[in-house]
Structure 1
Amino acid sequence: MKEIEILVIGGGPAGLSAAAAAADLGASVLLLERDDKPGGQLVKQTHKFFGSKKQYAGDRGYQIGDFLIEQCENNPKVEVWTETTVLGIYEDGVVTAEGQGKHLKINPEKIIVATGASERMITFPNNDLPGIYGAGAVQTLMNVHGIVPGQRVLMIGAGNIGLIVSYQLMQAGVEIAGIIEASPTIGGYLVHASKIRRAGVPILTSHTIIEAYGKDSVEGAIICKLDDKWQPIPGSKQDLKVDVICLAVGLSPLTELCFQADCQMKYVPELSGHVPIRNKYLETTRLGLYVAGDVSGVEEASSAMVEGRLAGICAASSLGHGNDVTPKLQAEALAELSELRAGPAGQKTVKGIMKLMNKGGAAC
């Protein structure tokens, strides 16, 4: 049985930030990551971040990931186990995991769940053909393994992920036949959409895919225009010859462990699905269990890092570490989150969080 003060589950931007913040206050931390390297989505993000210097503006995602990993590796209070998958969080506080070819038991005093999110899929005829990918899978192929998925791509979804991955595909020499978006407006930042349009790639809003076709793999897709009631407009079908269909249709929080740990959950569309109810310090209704990052509601990586830092500070403080500086650090992190969510893009998240706060939560 491994005894530890704070267990962090997930080594993405939120988990790494949580581990570093808690360790900086003097807590002993164990971070578990199921992949062979921490970093989460950051390891495959080659685009530069926006925001302020505090959120590493101007740095590329993989560079930020390397920095966060170094922060943890250089702190003697942090222990990192890679290729380790958490199996369950039980009533007595014991956490079980599979790793190192063994069934592992860990007994932490506090837990921070930072498991991130999974890609959503959509249903349409032949959506199981080879050549149909999630956008995250395409990023992994290209930016981690150096493999292009195909030669001509239809991108479904004009949020930030769809726009960014489309541009990265173009940088790799792949043709983008078009980007379609079911909503009447583009969901991503204008700066990303402008780069795509300047390259001559059409972005078709109020459009959806009807079906994919091909014998052994994708050979094309039928798309159509939608009316203001989201119904196909007769006579608007187009046949696009493509060998890849990439789905960038959103993410869902990976909350299975929170359900299993008996956290009180609530479905909040603005936060992209079922999320654990928590207070402003990110402690859930299961006392001593905190959440941070996309598992608490899908946002940008910048917000995930700040939430991770806040969860790490609160978990460490609850064990008596850094109480002289905790109020100041908490206030700074909360102010930073408010700043990140201040613009139009953040209003949806703010609305979702308010729904959770009205429901209640635990005390930090």
Structure 2
Amino acid sequence: MYDVVIIGAGPAGLSAAIACRESNLNVIVIDEFSKPGGRLLGQLHQEPNGEWWNGIKETQVLIDTAEKLNTEIKCGVSAHHIEKVEHGYAVHTNIGVLDTTNLLIATGAAETAVPIPGWTLPGVMSIGAAQVMTNVHRVRVGKKGIVVGVNVLSAAIARELQIAGIELHSMALPIANTVTKKHADPRTVMDGLVRIAHLAPSAFLRFGSKFAKSEWVRDIAVKLYPKGGVKMWGMPIHIRKAIVQINGTEKVESVTMCDITADGEVIAGSEKTIDVDFVCIAGGLYPLAELAAVIGCPFQYVEELGGHVPIHNEQMETPLKGLYVAGNITGIESAKVARAQGTLAGYSIAKNHAKIQQAMRDVKSVRDSASIQFHPSIVEGRERIHRSFLEYENAQ
């Protein structure tokens, strides 16, 4: 019988375990991957202040701290079902049933699929898979590739692939269809580019992004967007070109790219074939929240948070007694925010009131100072989900 079972050994789960162990709670952290760290393991980028964020090193700091506190961490363990029982929760896993009074779900996020013709060929992968293969497993994903989908996530990981010595032809939009509609709209994509332009090495781009915050300026920028794209780190980023199809017989051999209008419509006769041997598709992230749904946790769809999110309060507590959430399951943000949320969740579980308020302030501070945000209205989204918690509690 555990005081706390934590599902997910990423930055949120590990930080929560450390906070719980500080209060001497009996904790176990489980994760289906072969090593702890979650998506943090694949992260390697330079921040605006010039410092490097190395996810492997950051993970090791958390592991070392957890081990000093004699935290039980088991990897290669999958949780496939959860029951709400009299004493708390029964977590069904491939190593048996784990009984616990409190449960923290810190399962993170998953990537959204963006289907385009030819996407089932060997050599096509999600941008996140390319990141893990490159930075975690040290596997070269190919010699020359292209990124389909222009957003915060794809821009960050594309740079990581370049640092690893992988050649990228460019980044372009997917061809518009029912599923890719948002990702294929040049104006929507331009909104996202404005939010990451401050990371660009070009002073001109950083300066221009300040003006592009105006809607009418963004419209002009889309209409006048250069045919050769705008280069970041020497790589063209296209929002007026789209990938129509991925070509190949037994594996990726090329892609067909076309010009598109400011409204995302294909310009007839503009198709060109580009030789590549791998394609990374970037459709963004959504909260991985199925386990919370299994035990009947109420949800709300909040676009600013990336999708359906378990209802929770500022202390990471859900309406179900003893059930807590932290990290990207609560909304798509950076690993630093997830880490701060995990610490807050741990103190909430331990009822460490002396540290809860400071931990809440830390989450806000980390969020406010984040170099990138996956969604522009994250604060408003958080306020909506916290109000939903109060409304749900009052209705019971």
Shared fold, TM over 0.5: yes
The equivalent residue for 2:55 is: 61
Q: 1:44 to 1:207 in 2, by over 3 A?
A: same
Q: Is the 8 A contact 1:306 1:336 kept in 2?
A: no
Q: Distance in 2 between matches of 1:13 and 1:259?
A: 22
Q: Is the 8 A contact 1:139 1:165 kept in 2?
A: yes
Which digits, 9 at most, give the CA deviation of each residue in 1:53-95, with x for residues without a partner? xxxx64411110111111111112x211111111112121333
State yes or no: 1:237 paired with 2:262.
no
State yes or no: 1:172 paired with 2:164.
yes
Q: Is the 8 A contact 2:333 2:373 kept in 1?
A: no
User: Which residue of 358, 361, 365 maps to 1:336?
Assistant: 365
Q: 1:149 to 1:306 in 2, by over 3 A?
A: same
The equivalent residue for 1:83 is: 76
Q: Is the 8 A contact 1:253 1:272 kept in 2?
A: yes
Structure-2-length-normalised TM-score: 0.80
| Stretch deviating more after TM superposition (6-15 or 89-98) | 89-98
The equivalent residue for 2:255 is: 221
Which digits, 9 at most, give the CA deviation of each residue in 1:151-192, with x for residues without a partner? 111112333332232223223332211111434315462254
The equivalent residue for 1:96 is: 91
The equivalent residue for 2:43 is: 45
- Structure 1 residue 134, shift from structure 2 partner: 0.9
Q: What's the secondary structure of 1:90's corresponding residue?
A: strand
Which digits, 9 at most, give the CA deviation of each residue in 1:14-52, with x for residues without a partner? 111111112123322111111121001121222245689
- Structure 1 residue 277, shift from structure 2 partner: 1.0
* Structure 2 counterparts to residues 1-364 of structure 1, below 5 A: 3-48=1-46, 58-76=52-70, 78-92=71-85, 93-99=88-94, 102=95, 104-181=96-173, 182=184, 183-184=186-187, 185=190, 186-187=192-193, 189-194=196-201, 197=231, 199-317=233-351, 322-323=352-353, 325-337=354-366, 339-340=368-369, 347-361=376-390
- Structure 1 residue 226, shift from structure 2 partner: 3.7
- Structure 1 residue 215, shift from structure 2 partner: 0.8
- Structure 1 residue 306, shift from structure 2 partner: 0.9
Q: Report the AA paired with residue 117 of structure 1.
A: A
Q: Distance in 2 between matches of 1:346 and 1:51?
A: 22
Which digits, 9 at most, give the CA deviation of each residue in 1:263-294, with x for residues without a partner? 10112221111111111111112222111111
Coordinate RMSD, CA, aligned: 2.6
Q: Distance in 2 between matches of 1:245 and 1:344?
A: 25
Q: What's the secondary structure of 1:37's corresponding residue?
A: coil
Q: Is the 8 A contact 1:86 1:95 kept in 2?
A: no
Q: 1:151 to 1:91 in 2, by over 3 A?
A: same
Q: Percent identity?
A: 29
Q: Distance in 2 between matches of 1:270 and 1:58?
A: 28
Q: Is the 8 A contact 1:5 1:110 kept in 2?
A: yes
Q: Distance in 2 between matches of 1:91 and 1:14?
A: 23
Which segments of 5 or more consecutive residues in structure 1 lack a partner in the other structure?
A: none
Which segments of 5 or more consecutive residues in structure 2 lack a partner in the other structure?
A: 174-183, 203-229
Q: Distance in 1 between matches of 2:84 and 2:277?
A: 49
